[in-house]
Chains A and B, each alone.
Chain A
């Protein structure tokens, strides 16, 4: 009898006994993510489920990520199949207004320059000893685009998914702190005060409607491996611009995006088991992710300077910093920086154009990268 009681009581402490040293640390990491989301308002819709998922998976013996564990089921259903990031993309497409970009299509080029950090960071990761596919997944943090990073990493380096996703989402939300010093360092006061005038409304409904179709067909033909990414974001935008499927558009940008964000977040958190996550490799990935976003910003601003020269001083190089995918955060940073030097200078709509160009650019950069990898026989 007393032995049975002792055995029963023993059952209540096996959870504590089975803890690996890394589990309590990761539980603290999960709590920090929750704190950042709730108190600091850093991407709360993602950091709250990621943080909670991180805590759940670091409680031993619950088997949440074992075969048939509920987190494993969600992970297999949405991450392994790549479904979650793609569904999020339909929502992003439905939420995005490409109007400012279509007003001045040349700004598309800033969306390309803002992706250069991806490729430069990829090379850095290779130099630091990561494998080719791991380097690709680390470089993609520079897309500044969570779903793209998850899509690529879950396919080619699933062991890095937790670190890459956390880096992508954290740095994306830290854009207002990361970008301004780089923007100021690379531009002169005179350049920052360039007034680009007001954005006129000059895009027809037909052009707006054809835009997602042209991008899908042309981009898909150039980089077929990235068509799922490109096709879903453009489907969302096509539905929005068509104006005839309001219910589907609303569902994509609200209900579907919200449900998938919850499941995506908790699945990412579930990859943060301390025994796998707590390595020096994770720290290096976090540093490389930061470098990627700094390089994106620097390349965007430098390309903006080039465009300023080529257009005879009509382009304010600051808008180059908005050529990344952190929408609309990056455009707001540009507006704020511009107004520090001239309160009558309204760069917001121009920066929004570059920012939406960055959204298409990040998806296209990933698509181009996958197709080049396929061409080289790496995947």
Chain B
């Protein structure tokens, strides 16, 4: 694979993959906050 293809692939898949993974994680965290809400007694 030439450097040009490699560089462009890394930019697209790398940046996209990182963003997508963290976005899904943020959704999972929001979901967990809903399933296990904060109780005032925990203060």
Q: Determine which of B10, B17, B19, B39 lies in contact with A109 in the assembled complex, contact meaning CB atoms within 8 Å.
A: B19
Q: Is there contact, CB below 8 Å, between B36 and A207?
A: yes
For the complex, give the distance between the alpha carbons of A204 and B33 in Å.
Answer: 7
Q: Is there contact, CB below 8 Å, between B19 and A202?
A: no
Cβ–Cβ < 8 Å partners of B29 in chain A: 101-102, 105, 108, 207, 211, 214
**Interface-side segment among A38-46, A121-129, A166-174:** A121-129
Cβ–Cβ < 8 Å partners of A122 in chain B: 7, 10-11, 14
Which residues of A180-215 have CB atoms within 8 Å of chain B's CB atoms? 201-207, 210-211, 214-215
Interface size on A, residues (CB 8 A): 48
Cβ–Cβ < 8 Å partners of B26 in chain A: 105-109
Q: Determine which of A218, A360, A376 lies in contact with B6 in the assembled complex, contact meaning CB atoms within 8 Å.
A: A376
For the complex, give the distance between the alpha carbons of A211 and B37 in Å.
Answer: 14
Q: Is there contact, CB below 8 Å, between A202 and B11?
A: no
CB-defined interface of B1-43 with A at 8 Å, one 1/0 digit per residue?
1011011111101110111011111111110110011110011
Cβ–Cβ < 8 Å partners of B27 in chain A: 105
Contact flag A119-B22 (CB < 8 Å), given A126-B3, A205-B42, A218-B28: no
Contact flag A123-B10 (CB < 8 Å), given A204-B36, A207-B33: yes
The A interface, classified by DSSP as helix, strand, loop or mixed, is helix
Q: Determine which of B13, B28, B30, B36 lies in contact with A372 in the assembled complex, contact meaning CB atoms within 8 Å.
A: B13
Q: Determine which of A120, A214, A372 lies in contact with B9 in the assembled complex, contact meaning CB atoms within 8 Å.
A: A372
Cβ–Cβ < 8 Å partners of B11 in chain A: 119-120, 122-123
Among residues of A, the one whose C-beta sits closest to the C-beta of B24 is: A218
Q: Determine which of B4, B13, B21, B32 lies in contact with A364 in the assembled complex, contact meaning CB atoms within 8 Å.
A: B21
Cβ–Cβ < 8 Å partners of B10 in chain A: 119, 122-123, 136, 369, 372
Q: Is there contact, CB below 8 Å, between B25 and A202?
A: no
Asked if A365 lies at the interface with its beta carbon under 8 angstroms from chain B, I say: yes
Q: Is there contact, CB below 8 Å, between B32 and A210?
A: yes
Q: List 6 A-B contacts (CB under 8 A).
A: A120-B11, A127-B3, A204-B42, A214-B25, A222-B17, A372-B10
Given A105-B30, A120-B11, A372-B14, list of 4 further CB < 8 A pairs? A113-B19, A206-B32, A207-B32, A218-B25
